[in-house]
Amino acid sequence: MSQYEFEDDEPYVVIEKHDAPSIAPFLIGLAMGAGVALLLAPRSGAATRRDIKRRARRVQRAAQQVATDVTDGVVGTFEEARRRVEEQIDTARQAIDLKRRQVNRAMEAGRVAAQEARDELEQRIAETKAAYGATATASRASRSDVAADELDEA
């Protein structure tokens, strides 16, 4: 069975879609048209060749100009992107450096606070030991006085 079914008496049109248009038919038509134009040209061969050379030079200069413009545009875009990336890197480095300095300051402040707390704690311990020692000495002295009084009474 065929892909299409039609009535035999009815006229029909089949349109087929190709994958992608190609530039090859255009270039072939262009070459054929140029060849026919050269054959039917009203001027002499030398004049036609001069004209073709002149036009080829113009096309070459125009193509070089387009290539230069495209190259300049690409280079400019690349340089701009590079500059922006470098700026972002510098900004990130500055932020990291700032955070590093802040952390170092916080650590140093913590060390100082810890040292101050230790010094204060050691001072309190020393004061407590001194007070305990004084209380113990007074207590011993008081007990010895009490014991001496008891001996005297006995």
Q: Is 15 among the domain residues?
A: no
Q: Is 93 among the domain residues?
A: yes
3-state secondary structure (DSSP) of residue 69: helix
Taking only the tens place, the pLDDT of each residue in 13-42 is 666 666 666 777 888 888 888 878 777 777
List the domain range (segments joined by +) for residue 71.
52-143
Q: How far is Cα 91 from Cα 80, in angstroms, rounded to an integer?
A: 16
% pLDDT > 70, the chain: 78
Count up the domains in the chain and report the number: 1
Q: Is 12 among the domain residues?
A: no
CA distances from 14 to 5, 11, 18, 25, 73 (A): 11, 10, 13, 22, 47
Q: How far is Cα 141 from Cα 132, in angstroms, rounded to an integer?
A: 14
Q: How far is Cα 96 from Cα 103, in angstroms, rounded to an integer?
A: 10
Q: Is 129 among the domain residues?
A: yes
Q: Is 35 among the domain residues?
A: no
Q: Is 116 among the domain residues?
A: yes
pLDDT at 69 over 70: yes
pTM value surpassing 0.85: no
Q: Is 117 among the domain residues?
A: yes
